[in-house]
Structure 1
Amino acid sequence: MMRMLTRRDFIRFSALAAGAIAVGGGLAGCASGDVLRVGTKIDVPGFGFQNPESGNIEGFEVDIARELAARIKGDPNKLEVTGVNVTTRGIMLDNGTLDATLATFTITEARKKSYNFSQPYFTDHIGVLVKKDAGITELADLDGKTVGVASSATTRDKLTQAGDEIGIHMQFAEYATYPEIKIALVTGRVDAFSVDRSILMGYLDDSTMLLDAQFAPQEYGIATKKTNTELAGQIDDALQDMMDDGTLAALEEKWGLEDA
């Protein structure tokens, strides 16, 4: 099952959250053409998380990246993984530091204008995390409350739409990383933490709970630079093969995501 953050992990990891850490193939931006340079999250347990003990980045999306390296480059070790967040994952594609991003990157029509996206490899829904003692039990209770969201994410717009449908209005505070939002929730600077439910699962603890409400399906895709159509095709073919031969389903089960 997906590993939840302990208090010790959370404190140690928060100090690293803003950084971009490269593993597996040298320093970011210095890889040869024989190495696939992929950006993944380092703050999403189960998807892309920097293990506080080993320093390694691990998770579902990291394992997909290894499979891509094996199928495209002929060796799973011909991979360079660099930690990214919602702000840097696109910038590092644009400036050529990365070949692809596998970083809970939701496919949208607007984003398709800037990047090539693979077919979806995972579908999630937006959720809301709150403190158990906050008296918030449903979406309607967020009326007039402040919700912490990630900068450049689709969450704010989707949550606003959901609020409009039931006649409530929320304030928003944007943060660069998920640990920052969790800290803001714990310290009372925001009343709720909203992002995809599978991401929120990694930030559950004894003092918080997920609301039953879930909405706005989020399809994750592998993004590449718009001009790199050859790699985009290779990634999509490899991903389809992973679906056909059961590899993708096996990785979902490995990381406790099959029922997400």
Structure 2
Amino acid sequence: MKKNMFKTGTALFATAMMMAAVLTGCSGSDSGASTTAPADTTATTTEGSSADNSSASGDTTADVQKIIDAGKLKVGTKVDVPKFGYQNPETGKMEGVEVDLAYEIAGEIFGCTADEAKDKDLVAFQGVTAKTRGPLLDNGEVDLVIATYTITPERKEKWNFSDPYYTDAVGLLVLKDSGIESINDLDGKIIGVSQGSTTAKAFGEYTKENNIDVKPEFEEFDGYPSLAAALAAKNIDVFSVDRAILAGYNDDSTTLLPDRFAEQEYGVASKLDNKGLAELVNGVVDDLKSSGKMDEMMKGWGIE
């Protein structure tokens, strides 16, 4: 009997120690190296289970408590968009304003500052593309997607989106020696776009609404570096995506045309069932915007 009581007491002590480690995860000052997973281009969509959003601990909902118990917030970000979500080839670490936003959210979840969340390695980043970010949310490989994700009515039927943290428009990047000066010169040209993006649809709507009589061809690529390489090799005439993304690929050989269309807003996406998490994320985004810190974060990365 005493032997069984000793085993039970030991188990309870071990459980208590694990919970204490989670609750005090942000209190130390030791620094951990951030681990970044490579972009996943083979993810498949699976049916996610419904989350119980009842209170798990005080005001903490079950979906948020699940992240706390796991000890990390799993976030899908781009790895090839300088200034937003970018894996630095020299350090291997993730950087950009969307990476910073992930740490702000992690800080709120784990009860610490964004800097402490970063030092404690409380975010596990997973590389995503326009094609894979939705499926990775659906199958639970990531808790959030913060990846230049445009908010649309169709997408809001599938996932939760925060209030927008950035507004952009689609742009057109061409080679300086191409002879292309505006959207009116694109009849018969080949426009490269990213798989899973809304660029081709937005282009068609814009030209139709403004009576611009051009009929280009569209070719899809699996990532922005591939698009940039195709443009440099003259396999496509235009690289078209959000202007903020194009700015990271604009160099001495290219020029960003003045045309801009399909103004769009970026939001943080989560699974529809995760209402508590969505509310927490939206609170973080709203606080950053109202305090002016979001503007400071954007300026810090040279984003207009």
Query: TM bucket by the smaller chain?
Result: 0.7 to 0.9
Moved more, 77-86 or 167-176: 77-86
Match of 2:294 among 231, 248, 253: 248
Q: What secondary structure does 1:166 align onto?
A: coil
Aligned to 1:188: 234
The structure whose Rg is larger is 2
Q: Does 1:137 align with 2:181?
A: yes
Question: Once the two structures are superposed, what CA deviation does each residue of 1:35-62 show, in whole Å capped at 9, x if it has no partner?
Answer: 2111111000000011010011100000
Whole-angstrom distance in 1 between the partners of 2:199 and 2:278: 26
Whole-angstrom distance in 2 between the partners of 1:85 and 1:180: 12
Aligned to 2:102: 65
Q: Does 1:162 align with 2:206?
A: yes
Contact 1:127–1:214 at 8 Å: present in 2 too? yes
Letter in 2 for 1:82: Q
Letter in 2 for 1:70: G
Query: Cα–Cα, structure 1 residues 155 and 124, in superposed 2: closer, same or farther, change >3 Å?
Result: same
Letter in 2 for 1:201: A
Aligned to 1:221: 267
Letter in 1 for 2:302: G
Contact 2:167–2:265 at 8 Å: present in 1 too? yes
Structure with the higher fraction of residues in helix conformation: 2
Whole-angstrom distance in 1 between the partners of 2:68 and 2:188: 49
Query: 1:220 deviation in Å?
Result: 0.1
Aligned to 2:129: 85
Query: 1:174 deviation in Å?
Result: 0.5
Consecutive unaligned residues in structure 1, runs of 5 or more: 1-16, 21-29
Whole-angstrom distance in 1 between the partners of 2:239 and 2:249: 10
Q: What secondary structure does 1:65 align onto?
A: helix
Q: What secondary structure does 2:102 align onto?
A: helix
1:96-245 superposed matches below 5 A: 96-164=140-208, 165-245=211-291
Question: Once the two structures are superposed, what CA deviation does each residue of 1:103-122 show, in whole Å capped at 9, x if it has no partner?
Answer: 00000001111100000000
| Percentage identity across paired residues of the two chains | 45
Contact 1:163–1:170 at 8 Å: present in 2 too? no
Aligned to 1:48: 85
1:6-17 superposed matches below 5 A: none
Query: 1:246 deviation in Å?
Result: 2.1
Whole-angstrom distance in 1 between the partners of 2:126 and 2:177: 38
Aligned to 1:94: 138
Q: What secondary structure does 1:46 align onto?
A: coil
Whole-angstrom distance in 1 between the partners of 2:68 and 2:275: 20
Query: 1:72 deviation in Å?
Result: 2.0
Whole-angstrom distance in 2 between the partners of 1:67 and 1:18: 22
Consecutive unaligned residues in structure 2, runs of 5 or more: 1-36, 41-66
Contact 1:150–1:175 at 8 Å: present in 2 too? yes
Q: What secondary structure does 2:70 align onto?
A: coil
Question: Once the two structures are superposed, what CA deviation does each residue of 1:153-199 show, in whole Å capped at 9, x if it has no partner?
Answer: 11110112223331111110011101111111111111100000010
Contact 2:68–2:109 at 8 Å: present in 1 too? no
Query: 1:32 deviation in Å?
Result: 5.0
Q: Does 1:37 align with 2:100?
A: no
Root-mean-square deviation over aligned CA pairs: 1.8
